[in-house]
Structure 1
Amino acid sequence: MAFFLETLFGGLMAGMLYSLVALGFVLIFKASGVFNFAQGAMVLFAALAMARFSEWIPQWLGIESLLLANLIAFALAGLCMFAVAWLVERLVLRHLVNQEGATLLMATLGITYFLEGVGQTLFGNSIYQINIGMPKDPVFILDGVFQGGILINKEDLYAALIAAVLVIALSIFFQKTGTGRALRAVADDHQAAQSIGIPLNRIWVIVWCVAGVVALVAGMIWGSKLGVQFSLATVALRALPVIILGGLTSVPGAIIGGLIIGVGEKLSEVYLGPLIGGGIEIWFAYVLALVFLLFRPQGLFGEKIIDRV
């Protein structure tokens, strides 16, 4: 039982990180009705900015405190993501209002390559480390209940807690604020939202700023765990099964989908992997997503769209 719980907790923590990346997709889709292929590039760009600023700030300002340097680096990286959001709206989205979804989709592909290229130009293309002070030593819990206790990685635990707080805050933002309701209205119908006075351009800037902050937090956590390198952009691919399971329009769905994927990957690798030769963790999520696409394409919490003619 202790080993099962240890695997379960590991899956839940990984699932929270998947949910964090998936939230970026959900945020953009809810505001523009388009799947944002640039989310992985945004995570990479934000992680590069955070890593390089945290390296440069002590040299520029002579700061010795790791916490203060990271706070300043986080603020500067956040400003970079706000600048990206403003440029995306000003140079791309503003000119594509009321265009077909495929047109907006192709625009996000262009943004992807732009961010990857600019990130490499501004911050370099080496492998960088982000040290945000999270403890990396494992800890044993419930040792009074199970012999030897349950091994938990402190870094994973802190990362999961950060992701959980951000997810809860975003859920409240969408459900309880006027801006959140305006975002949902824009996603449903651009022209109808404009007709009742919702400023479409401002809404898009806001949602891309929020998605940029989500990408920054995700990039900071994944960069701390894995190092910042250009393969980090592919972390968005790990979130695709999450949004298929949870639904592309649902913030709670991104959370539940991430937890299901995280736990399913860990348990299947541990208990089914030895029976079929291992490697099941790599493709388990995509097979599960394929099953959902066949039988429930809108996901667990997504909205079923019915067109009447």
Structure 2
Amino acid sequence: MGFFLETLFGGLMAGMLYALVAIGFVLIFKASGVFNFSQGAMVLFAALAMARFSEWIPGWLGFNSMLLTNLLAFMIAVVIMIGVAWLIERLALRKLVNQDGITLLMATLGISYFMDGAGQLLFGSATYKIDVGMPKDPMIVLENLFDGGLLLSKEDLYAAGIAAILVGLLSLFFQKTATGRALRAVADDHQAAQSIGIPLSRIWVVVWSLGGIVALVAGVIWGSKLGVQFSISLVALKAFPVVILGGLTSIPGAILGGLIIGVGEKLSEIYLGPLVGGGIENWFAYVLALAFLLVRPQGLFGDKIIDRV
């Protein structure tokens, strides 16, 4: 029982990180109708910026404080991601307003390759580390209930807590602020929102900036766990089946979808892997997403598909 709970907990922690990347997809799709294929590249680009500025700032300013260095590096990375959002809206999206969805999808695919190349050109292609002070040592809990207790990762706990806080802040932003309500209006109907004076271009910059900040947080967490390397953009691909499972327009769906996939892939790898030769963790999410596409293509919390004739 204790081993099962450890596996379950590990799946929940991984699922929170998948959900964090998936939220970036949902934010951009809700406000612009664009399935942002470049979200994984944004995660990598933001993580590279954070890692490299964390290395450069002490030499530039003579800081010895890791906290101050990381704070400055994070703020610089936020400014960079907002600048990226402005450039994307200015140079790509503004010229593709009211185009077919496939046109916008191909545009984000091009942005993805451009950002991969730009990240390598600006920040290098080696493996870099991000140290934001999250503890690496495991801890043992519930020793009185289970023989030997449960072995949990402190780093995973911190990461899940950060992800939960970010999700809560985004929910408050959408519900309580004028800009958040404008984003929801644009998500419901672009033309109606424009007709009442909501500037579509500004809204798109805001939502892509939010997507960039979410990508930065996800990149920092993944970079702290795995190191900043180009495989991070592949890890972010796990967010595709998450949004398919939860629904392209639902933040709660992204969270629940991430948790289901995180837990499902861990449990299936442990308990079914020996029966089929292993490797289930690599393809479980995509098979589950395919099954949902066949029986419920809008996902668990997506808008219902209504055909009118």
CA contact (8 A) 1:171 1:252 kept: no
Q: Does the 8 Å contact 1:54/1:69 carry over to 2?
A: yes
Partner of 2:53: 53
Count of matched residue positions in the alignment of Structure 1 and Structure 2? 309
Q: How much has 1:177 moved relative to structure 2?
A: 2.9
TM-score by length of structure 1 reads: 0.97
Counterpart contact for 1:265–1:284, Cα < 8 Å = yes
Give the match for residue 258 of structure 1: 258
Residue matched to 1:274: 274
Shift of 1:166: 0.7
**TM score, norm. by length of structure 2:** 0.97
2:305 is matched with which residue?
Answer: 305
Query: CA contact under 8 A between 1:98 and 1:190: conserved in structure 2?
Result: no
Q: What's the CA shift string for 1:267-298, capped at 9, x where partnerless?
A: 11111111222111111111111111000010
Q: How does 1:96-111 map to 2 (within 5 A)?
A: 96-111=96-111
Provide the C-alpha distance between the structure 2 equivalents of 1:110 and 1:278, rounded to a whole number of angstroms: 34
* 1:127 corresponding residue in structure 2: 127
Q: Does the 8 Å contact 1:98/1:191 carry over to 2?
A: no
> Within 1, Cα distance between the matches of 2:109 and 2:281?
28
1:188–1:102 CA distance, 2 compared to 1 (3 A): farther
2:295: which partner in 1?
295
Query: 1:152, 1:130 → 2: CA distance?
Result: 21
Greater mean deviation of Cα atoms: 141-150 or 255-264: 141-150
Q: CA RMSD in A?
A: 1.1
Gaps of 5+ in 1: none
Once the two structures are TM-superposed, the CA of residue 192 in structure 1 deviates from its matched residue by 1.7
Q: Which residue of 1 is the match for residue 187 of structure 2?
A: 187
The CA distance in 2 between the partners of 1:299 and 1:178, in whole Å, is 29
The answer to whether the aligner puts 1:249 opposite 2:266 as a matched pair is: no
The whole-number CA distance in structure 1 between the counterparts of 2:241 and 2:114 is: 25
Separation (CA, whole Å) in 2 of partners of 1:30 and 1:39: 14
Q: CA deviation at 1:178?
A: 2.8
- Residue in structure 2 matched with residue 34 of structure 1 by the alignment: 34
Task: Report the 3-state secondary structure (helix = DSSP H, G, I; strand = E; otherwise coil) of the residue aligned with 1:24.
Answer: helix
User: Partners of 1:304 and 1:118 in 2: how far apart?
Assistant: 39
Deviations 1:181-228 (A, max 9, x none): 322222233222111111101100100110010000000011111111
- Letter in structure 2 aligned against 1:158: Y
Which residue is 1:5 aligned to? 5
Q: List aligned pairs for 1:153-232, cutoff 5 A.
A: 153-232=153-232
Q: Which piece of structure 1 moves more, 97-106 or 43-52?
A: 97-106
Q: Does residue 232 of structure 2 align to residue 236 of structure 1?
A: no
Work out whether residues 139 and 152 of structure 1, in 8 Å CA contact, stay in contact via their aligned partners in 2.
yes
Identity over aligned pairs, percent: 77
**Distance between the aligned counterparts of 1:302 and 1:237, measured in 2?**
20
| Partner amino acid, structure 2, of 1:45 | F
**Structure 1 residue 180: deviation in Å?**
2.2
> Partners of 1:83 and 1:249 in 2: how far apart?
25
Residue 117 of structure 1: how far off its partner (Å): 1.5
CA distance in structure 1 between the partners assigned to 2:132 and 2:116 by the alignment: 23
- Cα distance in 2 for partners of 1:248, 1:171 equals 16
CA distance in structure 1 between the aligned counterparts of 2:61 and 2:179, rounded to whole angstroms: 37
Aligned-pair CA distance for 1:307: 4.3
Q: Distance in 1 between matches of 2:254 and 2:201?
A: 26
* Structure 2: tracts of 5 or more residues without a match: none
Moved more, 274-283 or 77-86: 274-283
Letter in 1 for 2:41: A
The answer to whether the 8 A contact 1:15-1:258 is kept is yes
Runs of 4+ in 1 over 4 A off after TM superposition: none
Is the CA contact (8 Å cut-off) linking 1:57 and 1:73 kept in structure 2?
yes
Q: Distance in 1 between matches of 2:100 and 2:74?
A: 36
- Equivalent position amino acid for 1:132 in 2: V
The 2-side partners of 1:300 and 1:171 are apart by 19
Amino acid at match of 2:151: L
Task: Tell me the secondary structure at the aligned position of residue 281 of structure 2.
Answer: helix
Please tell me the residue identity of whatever aligns with 1:191.
Q
Q: Tell me the secondary structure at the aligned position of residue 131 of structure 2.
A: coil
SS in 1 for 2:272: helix
